Amino acid sequence: MAKRLLKTMFRQVRDANLNYHLIENGDLVAAGLSGGKDSLTMLYLLTLLQKYTPLQFKLLPIYVDLGWNNDISIIQDFCSDLGLDLYIEPTHIGQIVFDIRQESNPCSLCANLRRGALNRCAKKLGGNKVALGHHLDDVVDTLFLSILYEQRFHVFKPRTYLDRVDITVIRPLIYVAEKDIISFTEEYGLTVMENYCPADGTTRRSEINQLLDNIEQQHPGLRRKIVRSLENTHPDSLWGNQ
């Protein structure tokens, strides 16, 4: 079961890479690690992409420290087991969001600040691409969040070039379901870092995720069908093949 699941997830990452040219020869890919199940699984699968495909690229795991006094040794040990060195970027993002700004909806500002810090760090270290751990469920959840709360269509793209920082952001897990990531971390015994964020588990995203889970019980495969629908849109519209 465990090996079959890993093969499925690897194939999904490989297919996403083939379809959207996420990683190419000569790339230095900065993998953004939060210590959670998604980013750890992404890094593991990217090491398999190095090992079992002809692609020649380098991986640089980066942890943006928000100032929560997390036990970073968990991530350091994980990277070490993969033969990689973790780069730690210290910030005061947690203090800015919760103490100084006191945001009523802190997740959006925090995410923007984290992405900015990660992109700048990757560029400073010579990276040309930044890999994020957004998976299939995140793609669909984001689409519904934008519809319900912003009255617009917005969705994560598999590959986005940021001209201001000259960095390409990639999302290798767009075909991987969250339930498979959960099963993988459990079956392979991956240690996930505890999250000390005050907003953890109380976000609009978690509410949307539960709503879609309920719908998917009656319509199995809902999220994957929505992603396929996004891929079938016109190239110049919401997502489109790139």
* pLDDT tens per residue, range 196-241: 666 665 578 888 989 999 999 999 999 999 999 888 876 555 665 4
CATH number, domain containing residue 161: 3.40.50.620
Task: Judge if pTM exceeds 0.85.
Answer: yes
Q: Is the pLDDT of residue 191 over 80?
A: yes
134 belongs to a structural domain: yes
Residue 237 lies in a domain: no
99: domain range?
2-231
pLDDT digits (tens, 9 = 90+) for 124-144: 999 999 999 999 999 999 999
Within a domain: 242? no
Give the residue with greater pLDDT, 230 vs 23: 23
Decide if 240 is inside a domain: no
For 56-77, how does the pLDDT look when each residue is reduced to its tens digit (9 = 90+)? 999 999 999 888 888 899 999 9
Structural domain contains residue 239 = no
Number of domains in the chain: 1
Three-state secondary structure of the chain: CHHHHHHHHHHHHHHHHHHHCCCCCCCEEEEEECCCHHHHHHHHHHHHHHHHCCCCCEEEEEEEECCCCCCCHHHHHHHHHCCCCCEEEECCHHHHHHHHCCCCCHHHHHHHHHHHHHHHHHHHCCCCEEECCCCHHHHHHHHHHHHHHHCCCCCCCCEEEECCCCEEEECCCCCCCHHHHHHHHHHCCCCCCCCCCCCCCCCHHHHHHHHHHHHHHHCCCHHHHHHHHHHCCCCCCCCCCC
Q: Which pLDDT value is given to residue 242?
A: 44
In-domain check, residue 238: no
